[in-house]
Amino acid sequence: MPGKLLRSVLIGLIVGGILLAAMPSLRQWQLSSATPSDTADESPASYNAAVRRAAPAVVNVYNRALNSTSHNQLTLGSGVIMDQRGYILTNKHVINDADQIIIALQDGRVFEALLVGSDTLTDLAVLKINASGGLPVIPINPKRVPHIGDVVLAIGNPYNLGQTITQGIISATGRIGLNPTGRQNFLQTDASINHGNSGGALVNSLGELMGINTLSFDKSNDGETPEGIGFAIPFQLATKIMDKLIRDGRVIRGYIGISGREIAPMHAQSGGMDQIQGIVVNDVAPDGPAAQAGIRANDVIISVNDKPAISALETMDQVAEIRPGSEIPVVIMRDDKKMTLHVAVQEYPATN
């Protein structure tokens, strides 16, 4: 018994010695745990500065339509104040069939807007308000190029809840074929774009305009509801369309009546064309300018108006900038023979 007691005492002394030896470290750990970290005084990561720069220029758009079934049918969307003259960009589908367009600013001011013009191919519309005081204008950096992975914020008025900010990244650039009436160049983002966000601003982490929110996928072909897939019209294209609508009231585009796809050099080589890069013609509009000039399906376009045809989208955009009535050279390859055809550019057919 005395032996067991002595052994217990010895064990206790050893454990006590270990604790005493460790006490400075334990004491230091307790102090470091109890003392707030130096980083507690630092601000958390935030996009508040970007929101404060951009959000005042994003407005609520209300489309009031009168019809036989309803005397006060209201469609809502968003818009972006582009300059101090009172020009506002929004989506065409937001103001379709409007009898009255009301603009509500974030500072409480309300205006009736005039429709300057709209464009179906880009789903853009320009509105005008007359404001006596100054207007908040969206920041734009003309040299800013959107890149995949850039952080973006979507600003708008979803479901008329009031101005709302959602955050995501640019998921893809150069998306085409999303608008059933056009082939326009879209930004894809996973920032939520809901009903009412249409026409609002997609801005970067500095609050600079990257695009005009336009649509999201409601349902896929198999009936599923996709998440995190929304689209915006790049600001470079949007401002170009705005300038044309202000100047002419409509967008005048050159048109040659073809659709095509890029052909890679390796594909060209395997197809018997030695290192040819260009655009393979998929379809030619019957009696269109290209058809009248002799261009056929499966021709490979090498250049258009003396510019290399590398990207189908870029080439069609270049054609769109050519004044209707102009005649341009189009170099093609057909049956391993290069030839130059001359195409009379027409105006792009009107769309509703």
Residues annotated in a binding site for substrate: 181, 256-261, 348
Does 32 qualify as catalytic in the annotation?
A: no
Does 97 qualify as catalytic in the annotation?
A: no
Strands 300-304, 307-308: pairing is antiparallel
| Token representation of residue 155 | 């600003």
User: What is the C-alpha separation between 181 and 184, in angstroms, rounded?
Assistant: 9
Please give the C-alpha separations between residue 53 and each of 58, 108, 143, 170, 212, in angstroms, as whole numbers. 10, 17, 18, 20, 16
DSSP letters, 175-224, are: E-S-STT----EEEE-S---TTTTT-EEEETTS-EEEEEEEE-S--TTS-
Given the residues 198, 216, 299, 303, select the one marked as catalytic: 198
CB 62 within 8 A of CB 76: yes
Which residues does 212 contact at the CB level (< 8 Å), separation at least 6? 80, 89, 90, 91, 124, 199, 200, 201, 202, 232, 233, 235, 238
Does 198 qualify as catalytic in the annotation?
A: yes
Binding-site residues from annotation: 181, 256-261, 348
| Token representation of residue 341 | 């055809």
Given the residues 93, 119, 171, 303, select the one marked as catalytic: 93
CB 276 within 8 A of CB 333: yes
Catalytic residues: 93, 123, 198
